[in-house]
Amino acid sequence: MTTTQVSTTAAETVAALVARARAAQAVFEGYDQRRVDDVVAGVAWAIYQPDRAKELAELAVRDTGLGRVADKVAKNQRKTMGTLRDLTGAKSVGVISEDPATGITEYAKPVGVVAAVCPSTNPAATPANKTMMALKGRNAVILSPSPKGESTCRLLVEHIHAELDKVGAPRDLVQYVEGASKELTHELMRQADLVVVTGSQRNVRQAYRSGTPAIGVGAGNAPVIIDADADVADAAEKIRRSKTFDYATSCSSENSVHIHADVYRQALNALREQGGYLLTGEEKQRLRAVMWPDGKLSSAVTAQPPDKIAALAGLDAPGAEFFMVEEDGVGPDHPFSGEKLSVVLTVYRFTDLEQALSRIQLLLDHQGAGHSCGIHTRTEEHARLVASRLKVARVLVNQAHCFGTGGSFDNGLGFTLTMGAGTWAGNSISDNLSYRHFLNITRLARVIEPRVPTEEQLWGHYFDSYGR
């Protein structure tokens, strides 16, 4: 078969999906807010219902070989509940705001057909999360799973269709690309009205080149600081809980911890008490050879249990929950300074926070630009310094990082599995993906009392400082 024939087949396959999605979306666009919210609630129940959450988690781990079933169950339920909380009561149909002072009334409109590209690391939670947000805006969704995650996506869509049947909504509001491939995914990007990509940076770049409006996210490589006045035991417990969750499939998992010299030994001991195993210099080299055998991160360690990694690297670390390697360098010659997607935590020591932030920025420039950083501290000024200095979209204070960056019940960030990293990472957004990103908004503008400033109001300070 020629390349032209293959491309035509891909184009036709996707065109058929898009045509069905457009027909379903045309019906859905006529729903009022109550019916839309019922549809969204049904999609949430499709993954949250305990038996389904477990079934999807088991299938995901079996077919992708990534993560841990119990943690994926928790993720399927927690992220879904949090997202539904954020969506409940939010206006997304008709008039969504009125401002008498400006005379502006805003009307929400759908964006159309959304192409949602999803990763193998979260083959159920991520597509469900995106689908809920897109449907909140009365859009149709076509999911493009990773090849390893296709079986999980298929089962999720079956559960979603069963819920759509209950509420009398068209099944074609939610579809997925069968036989997932690069060609089909790229074709879907071209034919949809909006592309949202979570996963490989290759797909993010392809989305931005597709000619279709796109939202992509940056790579994670989260650094976390333990300040001199931190509650060290609390920090260690949160880092362990976050770092080991789902064997570090999350892009928000702590990849490095930067510890003040005054509490360095205390923090290492606290991390050991939490199940951390500190490697010797020789063991570090063995682990490096296993993790980057050809200069690229090996899939053999990605999101794998610690005993498997220990066996691969020849580590005698029974009972270890995660591994720690001390480091002082950043960049290509220091691979442990990058994202590892594994239960391996890089440890840095610092004596001055300003200097630590300079090194952390270098680390983020190397990998993880714009994503996030955390700090464990009792000093508000230090938290503010981190936020003001670093080019990141999120700074978490005294939190387990992977549970907080994508929204938490005890912080104000919106629940999501898709986190923009701003122009620092070549992304179009720097906030957490929400239903607002799936709306077109019409603004009705009325005549109001003129608001014409004087020259003095606008240029007074300039004239006083520099003259006319």
Residue 460 falls within a domain, yes or no? no
What order do you get walking across the sheet with 174-176 strand by strand? 174-176, 140-144, 113-117, 194-197, 214-216
178/271 same-domain check: no
Residue 106, C-beta contacts closer than 8 angstroms, at least 6 positions apart: 95, 96, 97, 98, 441, 442, 443, 444
Q: Is 450 part of a structural domain of the chain?
A: no
Q: 101 and 182: one domain?
A: yes
Q: What is the pTM of this model?
A: 0.94
Q: By the 8 A CB rule, do 115 and 144 touch? A: yes
State residue 2's pLDDT score.
38
Q: Is 197 within a domain?
A: yes
- Quick one: 129 and 228 in the same domain? no
pLDDT value at residue 158: 98
Is 204:217 a contact under the CB 8 Å cutoff? yes
* Residue 57 included in any domain: yes
- In a shared domain, residues 307 and 393: yes
pLDDT of residue 7: 57
- Please, what's the b/e burial string for 202-227 (b: 16 or more CB within 10 A of its CB; e: otherwise)? ebbebbbebebebbbbbbbbbbbbbb
If you ran DSSP here, which 8-state letter would residue 432 be given? B
Asked if 194 and 282 sit in the same domain, the reply is no
Domain shared by 198 and 229, yes or no: no
Give the catalytic positions in this structure: 251
> Do residue 208 and residue 273 come from a single domain?
no
CATH number for the domain spanning 254: value is: 3.40.309.10
Q: Domain containing 439 — which CATH number?
A: 3.40.605.10
End-to-end, the C-alpha distance of the chain in Å comes to 73
246 and 142 housed in the same domain: no
Q: Name, in order, each residue with C-beta under 8 angstroms of 242's C-beta and a sequence gap of 6 or more.
A: 250, 252, 253, 254, 400, 401, 402, 403
For 94, the enclosing helix (H) or strand (E) is strand 94-99
Domain of residue 55 covers: 3-216+434-444
Q: Tell me the backbone φ, ψ of residue 146, rounded to 5 degrees.
A: -70, 155
Residue 452 lies in a domain: no
* 465, part of any domain: no
Q: Mean pLDDT in runs of 10 for the chain (468 residues)?
A: 56 97 98 98 98 98 97 98 98 98 97 96 96 98 96 98 98 95 95 93 89 92 98 98 96 96 98 98 97 93 96 96 98 96 97 98 97 98 98 98 96 96 95 97 97 96 96
Asked whether residue 241 falls in the same domain as residue 207, the answer is no
| Domain match, 143 and 65 both | yes
Does one domain contain both 228 and 191? no
198 occurs within a structural domain: yes
Number of other CB atoms surrounding residue 249 within 10 Å: 24
Domains identified in the chain, total number:
2
CA atoms within a 13 Å half-sphere pointing along the CA-CB vector of 117: 31
CB 312, CB 303: distance < 8 Å:
no
User: Do residues 34 and 113 share a domain?
Assistant: yes
The answer to whether residue 293 sits within a structural domain is yes
